[in-house]
């Protein structure tokens, strides 16, 4: 099954709108944007922490698969929220060919380098309003999930849509 990112994005937007409505939350557009970027930044840091590759230890503790998946999906939602607010939703949806090419890439030689590059690109997207930086960060993030963490497209979509 191909990853239906358009459906996942729409679901994320609907969930956020429902949360805002049910809790009577009203923020300025600028503050909403800043909050979305902060949530994405924190979610990426949480993902790195859950993965734990950077810890200096002689006995690394492997991450629990379900915890890793949940943390990855939280960061994915962060990308969705930023894309929606920036009106960059077209960058989220990937063709089957692009996803296949992404999955054909090799695992990262350095997760630290990949993580830091993602963070820099996200910051550039916010501070410099660089749409290509956001797109590149999104591609690195998808690659992290599909190649480095070895999540399947079906697994990602089902787990994301099952969230409340």
* 15 SS3 class: helix
Residue with tokens 């956020």: 16
Kindly give the confidence (pLDDT) of every residue in the chain, 164 residues in length, as a single tens digit, with 9 standing for 90 and above.
589 999 999 999 999 888 877 887 777 889 889 999 999 999 999 999 999 888 777 676 778 999 999 999 999 999 999 999 999 999 999 999 999 999 999 999 999 999 999 999 999 999 999 999 999 999 999 999 999 999 999 999 999 999 86
Check if the beta carbon of residue 1 is closer than 8 Å to that of residue 154.
yes
User: Residue 23: its pLDDT value, please?
Assistant: 80
Where do the structural domains in the chain lie, given as residue ranges? 5-162
Burial of 102 (0-12, 13-18, 19+ CB in 10 A): middle
pTM of this structure: 0.92
Dist CA 107 CA 144 (whole Å): 8
């Amino acid at each position: 099954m191909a990853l239906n990112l358009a459906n996942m994005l729409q679901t994320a937007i609907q969930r956020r709108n429902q949360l805002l409505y049910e809790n009577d939350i009203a923020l300025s557009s600028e503050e909403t944007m800043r909050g979305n970027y902060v949530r994405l930044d924190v979610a990426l840091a949480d993902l790195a922490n859950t993965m734990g590759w950077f810890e200096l230890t002689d006995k690394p503790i492997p991450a629990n698969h379900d915890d890793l998946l949940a943390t990855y999906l939280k960061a994915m939602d962060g990308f969705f929220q930023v894309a929606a607010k920036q009106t960059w939703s077209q960058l989220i949806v990937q063709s089957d060919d692009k996803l296949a090419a992404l999955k054909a890439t090799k695992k990262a030689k350095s997760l630290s380098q990949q993580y830091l590059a993602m963070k820099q690109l996200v910051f550039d997207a916010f501070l410099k309003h660089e749409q290509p930086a956001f797109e590149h960060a999104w591609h690195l993030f998808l690659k992290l999930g599909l190649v480095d963490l070895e999540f399947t497209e079906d697994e990602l979509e089902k787990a994301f849509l099952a969230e409340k």
